[in-house]
Structure 1
Amino acid sequence: MKQEPPRDSEAPDPVDTRLGARLAELRAERGWSLGELAERSGISRSTLSRAERAETSPTASLLNRLCHVYGRTMSQLLSEVESEPALLVRAADQPVWEDRSSGFVRRSVSPPHAGLRAEVVEGRLTAGADIAYDRPPVPGLEQHIWVLEGALDVTVQETEHRIGAGDCLRMRVWGPTRFRCAGPEAVRYALVVVLP
């Protein structure tokens, strides 16, 4: 009787599996090799290959770079691996995605829809979490960040903004941004994203 080799890790998350398949589809639709996508995104071929095969859970930064290349917001990409969004989305049915390596949890409160330009996202960062995006997924993207609990440091166009509970920052994103939770508590915020 043949024995199966021991598994080094647990089975891939179903969302990561669907996400990997969608990333592979997007690349194939454009006729790009992994090498071409690596050049366009600045992500190594091996990392891209592992993400497409769901051997690794992509980070928020990696997904942001791919969204930029594919001209989508992160919510649009994530919604493509979920079912068709309904008009009413119950809290228990809102898709949640987690970047465990950075301490970032993202809930699509109102998943995007092809005919609409805005969406609402809930973000949570653990104390000490620091996420840098080298570019927006869509240039000129409008964002409104409303801090619900804790404090968030957001850097936009080399200007740092400290946003406390109840504060709201409105911005258009053309270049790098950084989201940091200095702590000591986690931060929870609502993010309204509006396509240009």
Structure 2
Amino acid sequence: MGIDTAADERLARRLAELRLQRNWTLEELACRADVSRSTLSRVERAEVSPTAALLGRLCAVYGRTMSRLLAEVESEPARLVRADEQRVWRDEATGFVRRSVSPPHGSLRGEVIEGLLPAGADIAYDRPCPPGLEHHLWLFEGALELTLDGEAQLLGPGDCLRYGSGTSRFRSLGPGCARYALLVVEP
């Protein structure tokens, strides 16, 4: 899985564009997202790669799913998405790897994401995703605790959890990685 540094730079530019489209200063965005101004500045200048949790906060502020935001920095995807062409993003802080298997596109409402969360990794999305989203998480390997709006669900291989919008926390219980497919359907 190759990490695309050019896409990281496009992501930084897109995040800056979204802020400027709203005529927000870095300080205003920092207050809305509850993230330090200096961190936001470094992310918008592509000096650091944002964590999954930080992207989650920014997506909540901008009313986008993470997949939609990442798709906005890619060129128009082809109908057939070959395995070696699927966008891969890594959260260096947690080791979380996110593969956009079937990215959002045009009038299509669904997307497929593969997640790989190392044992012990814990990611909290403390801001709800845009309202009306439908999620289906299908765990392939490992053990995962998925907490939705404060209610923990334990998943084992083959389990599928369906849920709507809200806050979420993903915790890989080990001993190995938790590998799953997440299907997201927009309203």
Question: What is the TM-score with the length of structure 1 in the denominator?
Answer: 0.90
Paired residues of 1:69 and 1:137 also in contact (CA < 8 A) = no
Q: How do 1:149-188 and structure 2 match up within 5 A?
A: 149-174=141-166, 176-188=167-179
Cα distance between partner residues in 1 of 2:91 and 2:12: 15
Match of 1:106 among 79, 91, 98: 98
Counterpart pick for 2:112 among 114, 120, 123 = 120
2:180 to 179, 186, 189: 189
User: Does the 8 Å CA contact 1:130/1:179 hold for their aligned counterparts?
Assistant: yes
Contact 1:103 1:126 in 2 (8 A): yes
Amino acid at match of 2:170: F
Structure of larger gyration radius:
1
**Pairwise CA RMSD of aligned residues?**
1.2
Partner of 2:84: 92
Amino acid at match of 2:174: G
The sequence identity of aligned pairs, in percent, is 64
The equivalent of 2:133 in structure 1 is 141
Distance, in Å, in 1 between the alignment partners of 2:59 and 2:129 is: 5
Correspondent of 1:71 among 63, 74, 78:
63
Match in the other structure for 2:21: 29
Letter in 2 for 1:22: R
1:133 positional shift: 0.6
Letter matched to residue 129 of structure 1: A
The residue type equivalent to 1:156 in the other structure is L
CA–CA distance in structure 2, aligned partners of residues 120 and 77 of structure 1: 14
The number of equivalent residue pairs is 184
d(CA) in 1 for partners of 2:33 and 2:170?
A: 21
* Paired AA for residue 70 in structure 1: Y
Letter of the 2:36 partner, please give it. Answer: S
The equivalent position to 1:53 in structure 2, one of 45, 59, 62, is 45
Listed as ranges, the gaps of 5+ residues in structure 2 are none
Say which SS state the counterpart of residue 42 (structure 2) adopts: helix
Q: Point out 4+ residue stretches in structure 1 off by more than 4 angstroms.
A: none
Aligned mates of 2:140, 2:181 — CA distance in 1: 7
Q: Which moved more, 1:157-166 or 1:46-55?
A: 157-166
Counterpart residue identity of residue 183, structure 1:
G
